[in-house]
Amino acid sequence: MRSRTHTYSRPARVAVEILGLMVANARRERRWTARDLAARAGISVQTLRNIERGEPTVAIGVVFEVATLLGIPLFGDDRREVSELRSAESRRALLLPQRVRASKEAVDDDF
């Protein structure tokens, strides 16, 4: 089987690296071992190490669960703020078309 490689944009790589550093620092502040946190999250120590190194290939749900276990805020600190953000995005989705069709015109992307 041929392995796939994916090139990640610089902003995506930096964001994943920052979140990984936040996870590593929060784990150390709580004086949890990697084994302790991995067990709490139901993942392998290697997966946790990949999160802490900022590897972009770890599933986002796993990364968010680890961040939540450590108390790292995702999309805001308070629940009301997060709830309002979710509601706003849900309302925005209602304004967008249900389906997106491919354009029949050729896209001129020669800048």
55: Cβ–Cβ under 8 A, 6 or more apart, which residues? Answer: 16, 20
Phi, psi at 41, each rounded to 5°? -85, -10
Q: pTM, whole model, 2 decimals?
A: 0.78
CATH topology of domain 10-95: 434 Repressor (Amino-terminal Domain) (1.10.260)
Per residue in 75-111, pLDDT (tens digit) is 888 888 889 999 999 999 888 888 877 767 776 777 6
Query: pLDDT category, 16, cuts 50, 70, 90?
Result: very high
CA distance 19 to 101: 35
DSSP 27-87: HHHTT--HHHHHHHHTS-HHHHHHHHTT-TTS-HHHHHHHHHHTT--SS-SSHHHHHHHHH
Residue 84, sorted as left (phi over 0), alpha (psi -120 to 50) or beta, turns out to be alpha
